[in-house]
């Protein structure tokens, strides 16, 4: 098995795939890709988003042997290495887990990524002042409905689906990690179930490995009084 993950560790979508690879004990190489994307990456990722995964056992060149999109990659890895399972085996649980994955990848990512992470982190990389106004407005006006929904879903439970860690928990947590990196997590008193889930997920060695790298890149979140 010869797997190459293309992307950057701060990307929540790259993080999701990286954690799945580690959870399943699959050896892989990480090849850094950053924006603006080089032409060769655009050819293998037509949606022009990271990550992409190459399985050199299929093909070592071109788009053949490459799967773009984090959800497609995670589905492939689940079939490639079924144990430990990260998708529930029962039909309804599977559907619910895929729903949470989609919700995190689209709705939650849109709010955190575009409204908080990019306005804070991208200017810092460019040695400019972060856009505090946009981030604060997002935190106060847009983010609460997402957090409220997730708190209601996790309340009284350890995991979002069933009684085991799954792609549902990972997908939500990996987006909230970028929130934490940029401005910190909400207070536990306001979101006890969600913050407890985050504590459990971040203690997993597969997640901690990514966090160690990310915290070397960005050491201190911007204080919004969150």
Per-residue model confidence as pLDDT tens digits over 205-219: 999 999 999 988 877
Q: Over range 46-61, report the average pLDDT.
A: 94
- 2-29 pLDDT, tens digit per residue, is 999 999 999 999 999 999 999 999 999 9
At residue 220, the pLDDT reads 75
Q: Quick check: pTM over 0.85? A: yes
At residue 217, the pLDDT reads 86
CATH of 91-217, one of 1.20.1050.10, 1.10.340.30, 2.130.10.10, 3.30.2320.50: 1.20.1050.10
| Structural domain boundaries in the chain | 3-80, 91-217
At residue 62, the pLDDT reads 87
Q: For residues 125 and 127, what is the distance between their CA atoms, to the nearest angstrom?
A: 5
pLDDT at 136 over 80: yes
Q: pLDDT confidence of 125, banded at 50, 70, 90?
A: confident
pLDDT at 120 over 90: yes
Percentage of the residues of the chain whose pLDDT score is greater than 90: 90
Q: For residues 7 and 225, what is the distance between their CA atoms, to the nearest angstrom?
A: 31
CA within 13 Å, CB half, 109: 17
Percentage of the residues of the chain whose pLDDT score is greater than 70: 99
Asked whether the domain spanning 91-217 has the same topology as the one spanning 3-80, the reply is no
Q: Which residues pair with 145 in a beta bridge?
A: none
For 112, which DSSP code? I
Domain 3-80, CATH homologous superfamily name and number:
Glutaredoxin (3.40.30.10)
Average pLDDT, the chain: 95
Q: Over range 99-113, report the average pLDDT.
A: 98
Are the C-beta atoms of residues 156 and 193 closer than 8 Å to each other?
A: yes
At residue 225, the pLDDT reads 74
Contacts with 106 (C-beta within 8 Å, 6 or more apart), sequence order: none
At residue 94, the pLDDT reads 98
Backbone angles phi, psi at 66, to 5 degrees: -115, 135
- 162-221 pLDDT, tens digit per residue, is 999 999 999 999 999 999 999 999 999 999 999 999 999 999 999 999 999 998 887 778
At residue 174, the pLDDT reads 97
Q: Which of 95, 115, 84, 220 is nearest to 160 (CA)?
A: 95
At residue 134, the pLDDT reads 96
Q: For residues 8 and 218, what is the distance between their CA atoms, to the nearest angstrom?
A: 13
């Amino acid at each position: 098995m010869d797997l190459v993950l293309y992307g950057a560790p701060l990307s929540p979508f790259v993080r999701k795939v990286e954690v799945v690879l580690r959870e399943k004990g699959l050896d892989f190489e990480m090849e850094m890709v950053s924006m603006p994307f080089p032409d060769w990456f655009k050819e293998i990722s037509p949606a022009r988003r990271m990550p992409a995964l190459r399985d050199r056992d299929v093909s070592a060149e071109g788009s053949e042997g490459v799967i773009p999109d984090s959800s497609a990659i995670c589905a492939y890895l689940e079939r490639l290495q079924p144990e430990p399972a990260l998708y529930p085996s029962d039909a309804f649980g599977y559907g619910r887990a895929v729903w949470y994955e989609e919700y995190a990848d689209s709705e939650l990512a849109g709010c955190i990524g575009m409204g908080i992470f990019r306005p804070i982190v991208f200017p810092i990389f460019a040695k400019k002042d972060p856009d505090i106004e946009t981030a604060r407005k997002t935190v106060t006006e847009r983010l609460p409905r997402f957090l409220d929904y997730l708190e209601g879903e996790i309340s009284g439970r350890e995991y979002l689906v069933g009684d085991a860690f799954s792609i549902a928990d990972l997908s939500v947590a990996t987006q909230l990690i970028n929130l934490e990196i940029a401005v910190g997590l909400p207070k536990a008193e306001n979101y006890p179930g969600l913050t407890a889930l985050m504590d459990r997920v971040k203690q997993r060695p597969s997640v901690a490995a990514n966090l160690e790298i990310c915290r070397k890149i960005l050491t201190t979140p911007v204080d919004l009084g969150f």
